[in-house]
Amino acid sequence: MAARPAYLRPVPAISARDHVATELERIGTVVTAVRGMTVIEEDCAAEYVFKVVAGALRAVRLLPDGRRYVTKFLLPGDYFGFSEGESYGQSVEVVGDATFIRYSRSSFDALLARDPAAGRRFFGVVCGELCAAQERLLLLGRKSALERLATFLLGMADRSIAATPGENNEVHLPMNRSDIADYLGLTVETVSRLLTQLRHHRIIDLPTSNHVVFLKREELETISCGER
């Protein structure tokens, strides 16, 4: 079975016994946010770094003509807010009620500067994001609409809390179909049509619009890999 693409894999969790986690807990502030709230605004000063504890968020860019592009979905364990410059390159919005930890950028940078282990840890996180960006180019540039959707559903299932990659056969999608469409570079109508097609062929079931059950996971994986 093919490995799940990096852009759909969760960031490895830091052990509670790790001294880096202890330092992060010391400098962090727990924040809760409700659906629809904007946590980060594009082009605003990059003053904080965040870690998702619960819920879901989406990172978005607006094109000059007003079209929206969802660059990633952020789930528990994911970090966001890293910026090369002094301002954020994209906005981050709450998809469903969420809890996250907020670190001031000055405290976060100071931790990385004084603790080599923390520096190595987050260097790995950044490298993972670069790998994810490369694989996402493959998703959008070479895969068909059906392959994109199959890859997305499998990846979201594997990112579920306590899920074992390749073994989770259902997923709750916190985002709506418009979000999925803007993430996959498709229209809402195409996403809805493809979900109906997969359901018609008994590859998935849709008990609700946000709950997907895999009836034939292996077939969905075959589609994802472009082998059907």
CATH number, domain with residue 115: 2.60.120.10
Number of structural domains in the chain: 2
For residues 101 and 120, give the distance between their C-alpha atoms in angstroms, rounded to a whole number. 20
pLDDT band per the 50, 70, 90 thresholds, residue 7: very low
Looking at the DSSP bridge assignments, the partners of residue 68 are 62
Of the two residues 76 and 141, the one the predictor is more confident about is 76
pLDDT number for residue 4: 46
Q: Which of 134, 133, 161 is nearest to 55 (CA)?
A: 161
pLDDT, mean over the chain: 86
For residues 57 and 73, give the distance between their C-alpha atoms in angstroms, rounded to a whole number. 6
Is 1 domain-assigned?
no
Q: Which domain holds residue 45?
A: 6-139
Of the two residues 223 and 166, the one the predictor is more confident about is 223
Q: Do 109 and 214 sit in the same domain of this protein?
A: no
Please give the full DSSP string across the chain, using - where no structure is assigned: -PPPPGGGSPPPPPPTTSHHHHHHHHHEEEEEE-TT-EEE-TTSB--EEEEEEEEEEEEEEE-TTS-EEEEEEE-TT-EE---SSSB-SSEEEEEEEEEEEEEEHHHHHHHHHH-HHHHHHHHHHHHHHHHHHHHHHHHHHHS-HHHHHHHHHHHHHHTSTTPPTTT--EEE--S-HHHHHHHHT--HHHHHHHHHHHHHTTSEEEEETTEEEESSHHHHHHHHTT--
> Is the predicted pLDDT of residue 218 greater than 60, yes or no?
yes
In the chain, the amino acid numbered 81 is G
Look up the pTM and report it: 0.83
Q: Do 13 and 98 sit in the same domain of this protein?
A: yes
| pLDDT tens per residue across span 129-180 | 778 777 777 778 788 999 999 999 998 998 876 556 667 889 999 999 999 9
Average pLDDT over residues 83-107: 93
| pLDDT tens per residue across span 14-55 | 444 578 888 888 899 999 999 999 999 999 999 999 999 999
Is 147 domain-assigned?
yes
Query: What are the phi and psi torsion angles at 67 (to 5°)?
Result: -70, 145
pLDDT number for residue 139: 77
Q: 105, 139, 173: which is the final residue of a domain? A: 139
pLDDT number for residue 135: 78
Q: Do 204 and 187 sit in the same domain of this protein?
A: yes
pLDDT number for residue 55: 94
Q: Do 99 and 212 sit in the same domain of this protein?
A: no
Q: Do 82 and 95 sit in the same domain of this protein?
A: yes
